[in-house]
Structure 1
Amino acid sequence: MKKLFHNYINTFKGLSQEIWWLALITLINRAGTMVIPFLSLYLKDDLNFSMSDVGWIMSAFGLGSVAGSWLGGKLTDKIGYYKVMVRSLLSTGFLFIALQFLNSFASICIGIFLVMLVADTFRPAMFVALNAYSKPENKIRSLTLIRLAINLGFSAGPAIGGLIITGLSYSGLFWVDGITCIIATLVMIKVLHPKKAKILDTIVNDNPDSAYNDKAFLIFLVAMVLFGIVFLQYFSTITIYYKDVHTLTEFEIGLLLGGNGFLIFIFEMPLIKWLEGSKYSKLSLMFFGAVLTGFSILVLNFSTWSGVLIIGMLLMTVGEMIAFPFSNSFAVDRAKKGNQGEYMALYSMSFSIAHIFGHNAGMQMTAHLGYDNTWYIVTGIAFVCALILFILNNRLKSKKITNPLSVIKS
């Protein structure tokens, strides 16, 4: 046991101080975003919107995310990642607090769009900051540490969020979200100001390639949109499914989602370190992650026993642990070819586009086709994603290219 613990600690060695601070800021911020997993429940149960209305509101969520990711990439290339991150975090805090006071369909659509527009300018800036604060050989582990911070916050957030809803009300979530964003801003100003932070990897391209001309990258993004559509069902339709079909309480839903984050916190870093040393390419590993995530949805149709929810969550957790770090790394590597903000904005936008279609499609399908048929369709989307990744991987291999940075635009 002592050796196992020692090996686990060793997986974190060599990461820069700035990466650890960035992880702490992400942890503070993510612990506060406990409203997101409960947003569809809040709209349906507290504000009494129909499933169809909830779907359209979640599409406004996705549209704001797309616009924010695009704007964040542009601003990052223009004014730098630090200014974008600080302004995004601070503004998001106040917007989250204000969101609770909206109650009409139109006002909530506009409010959620604005919140996500501002909040998601943070994402491409954060990826560029991570690239700057990390040595080249530590990129994947640095990305994994940030994901650990996200998931540690996410494991605590839903459980605490469930308690807040049970003991107080949904409005308390918005206050906590807003305050934690403001706290994260203050921490960032204190420890990651440009005069204090140490840059370890500066990339300058005099003639950067456009991400829009990188066909392999664009194919990869299509797969990420499909993966996002599948993955995001866990934060909208499946939470409602937990309550409507398996009669789980908000607290029980929070514990189930929190268990996902806890498992990732414990196992992802050793898993990624082990997989880094394997013979498999990033795209091959992402293929495996997509297949596991697809099966996590499919098993929901296998039994009415509530224990199947835990099995599905375990499959999704492993799939997520594999797919996300290596997709992040693939995108960061290719971003070195051109404007980093542009590349990382497109990568962030792939998940934002998934927000537009994923939540709404899930809501509309469950309303008109039922849960069982919806899970079959979503599983099919996961396997299409896996097929695209498989084909792209073989295409790159056929060119006898092992380093994605050297892929010639075709």
Structure 2
Amino acid sequence: MQTLFIKYINTFKGLSTEVWWLALITLINRAGTMVIPFLSLYLTKSLHFSLSDVGWIMTAFGLGSVIGSWLGGKLTDKIGFYKVMVFSLFISGLSFIILQFLTTFAAFWMGIFLVMVVSDMFRPAMFVALNSYSKPENKTRTVTLIRLAINLGFSAGPAIGGIIIITMSYGGLFWIDGITCMLAALVLLKVLHPKKAKTLDHLKIENPQSAYQDKIFLLFLAAMVLFGIVFLQYFSTMPLYYKDAHYLSELEIGLLLGLNGFLIFVFEMPLIKWLENSRFTKSGLMLMGALLTGLSFFVLNVSSWSGVLIIGMLLMTFGEMIAFPFSNAFAMERAKNGNPGEYMALYSISFSIAHIFGHNAGLQLVDVFGFDKTWYLATLLAGFSVFLLFILNQKLKY
């Protein structure tokens, strides 16, 4: 047991101090994102919106994410990642607190749109910061550490969120989310002063390659959009499935979603360390992750036994653990010959596009066809993502 623990600790060696601070900031920020997994439940149960209304609100969520990611990438290339991250964290914190007071469809639609514009400016700036603060041989493990912080926050967040809903109602979620975002901004101001980042924050590449003309990268983005549409069902339609088809309580839903974050916290870094030293390519590993995620939806239709929810969660979790770190590392690798903000903004936008179509399409399909047919379609979309990643893998061999 001691040997296993030492090996686990050794997987974290070699990462810079700045990366560890960024991981802590991310942990503080993501610990408060308990609003997101419960958003569809909040809108249907507390505000009494229809599934169709919730779908359009989730589209606003995605539209805001696209614009925020694009704007964050542009500003990162112009003024540096530090200023963008501080602004995004503090203002999005205030925005989340205000969001709870919007109760009409139009007001909430516009509110969630503006929240996501500000909030997702953070993502490309964070990726560029990670790229600047990590050594080439540590890129994937750096991303994995940040994901570890995100998922540690997510594992605690939904479980605590379920308790807060029971004891304080949904309003408490918005306050905690907003306060933790602002706390993350204060920590960033305290520990990562601009002078520390000065030499890294303005790295310029002569004659940078445009990400829009990088055909390999565009093919990769198409696969990520499809993968994102499938994956994001776990944050919109899946909580409703747990509630309506398997009659789980908010606390049980929070614990099941928290299982995802806990497993990632325990297993992801050792898994990534092992896979980095294996014969698998990044594109091949992304393919494997998309395949496992697709299977996580297929198994839900195999049995009505509630234990199948855990099997599905396990498949999705390991698919996520493999797909996300290596897709992120792949994007950072392609960005080295271009404007990093542009490349990482497009990578973020691929998931923002998934937000636009994924949540709405999933909710509309559930409303019209039910959960079973929706899960079959999710499996099919994952299959298309696997196919595109297979083509990508073949192209990279030549």
Q: CA deviation at 1:197?
A: 4.5
Q: 1:138 to 1:201 in 2, by over 3 A?
A: farther
Q: CA deviation at 1:266?
A: 0.3
Q: CA deviation at 1:201?
A: 9.7
Q: CA deviation at 1:337?
A: 1.2
In 2, the alpha carbon distance for the partners of 1:369 and 1:7 equals: 48
State yes or no: 1:84 paired with 2:84.
Answer: yes
Q: Is 2:129–2:201's contact at 8 Å kept on the other side of the alignment?
A: no
In 2, the alpha carbon distance for the partners of 1:119 and 1:10 equals: 33
Task: Name 2:145's counterpart in structure 1.
Answer: 145
Compute the RMSD of aligned alpha carbons. Answer: 1.0
Task: Name 1:249's counterpart in structure 2.
Answer: 249
Pairing of 1:44-193 with structure 2 (within 5 A): 44-193=44-193
Secondary structure of the equivalent of 1:195?
helix
Task: Name 1:404's counterpart in structure 2.
Answer: none
Pairing of 1:7-406 with structure 2 (within 5 A): 7-197=7-197, 203-397=203-397, 399=398
Gaps of 5+ in 2: none
In 1, the alpha carbon distance for the partners of 2:392 and 2:188 equals: 38
Aligned residues: 398
Write the letter of the residue equivalent to 1:113.
Answer: F
Q: CA deviation at 1:166?
A: 0.5
For residues 319-339 of structure 1, give each alpha carbon's deviation from its aligned partner in whole angstroms, at most 9, with x where no partner exists. 000000000000000011110
In 1, the alpha carbon distance for the partners of 2:358 and 2:352 equals: 10
In 2, the alpha carbon distance for the partners of 1:26 and 1:280 equals: 29
Q: Is 1:132–1:199's contact at 8 Å kept on the other side of the alignment?
A: no
In 2, the alpha carbon distance for the partners of 1:179 and 1:262 equals: 23
Q: CA deviation at 1:196?
A: 3.2
Q: CA deviation at 1:198?
A: 8.1
In 1, the alpha carbon distance for the partners of 2:207 and 2:394 equals: 29
TM-score (norm 2): 0.99
Write the letter of the residue equivalent to 1:34.
Answer: M
In 2, the alpha carbon distance for the partners of 1:382 and 1:93 equals: 34
Secondary structure of the equivalent of 1:196?
helix
Gaps of 5+ in 1: 400-410
In 1, the alpha carbon distance for the partners of 2:189 and 2:137 equals: 27
Write the letter of the residue equivalent to 2:75.
Answer: L
Write the letter of the residue equivalent to 1:288.
Answer: M
Q: Is 2:81–2:201's contact at 8 Å kept on the other side of the alignment?
A: no
For residues 83-111 of structure 1, give each alpha carbon's deviation from its aligned partner in whole angstroms, at most 9, with x where no partner exists. 00000000000000000000000000000
Write the letter of the residue equivalent to 1:96.
Answer: F
In 1, the alpha carbon distance for the partners of 2:50 and 2:307 equals: 28
Write the letter of the residue equivalent to 2:330.
Answer: F
TM-score (norm 1): 0.96
For residues 239-265 of structure 1, give each alpha carbon's deviation from its aligned partner in whole angstroms, at most 9, with x where no partner exists. 000000000001100000001000000
Q: 1:199 to 1:9 in 2, by over 3 A?
A: farther
Which piece of structure 1 moves more, 201-210 or 332-341?
201-210
Q: Is 2:64–2:115's contact at 8 Å kept on the other side of the alignment?
A: yes
In 2, the alpha carbon distance for the partners of 1:163 and 1:311 equals: 24
In 1, the alpha carbon distance for the partners of 2:131 and 2:196 equals: 17
Write the letter of the residue equivalent to 2:42.
Answer: Y
Q: CA deviation at 1:202?
A: 7.7
Q: Is 1:133–1:198's contact at 8 Å kept on the other side of the alignment?
A: no
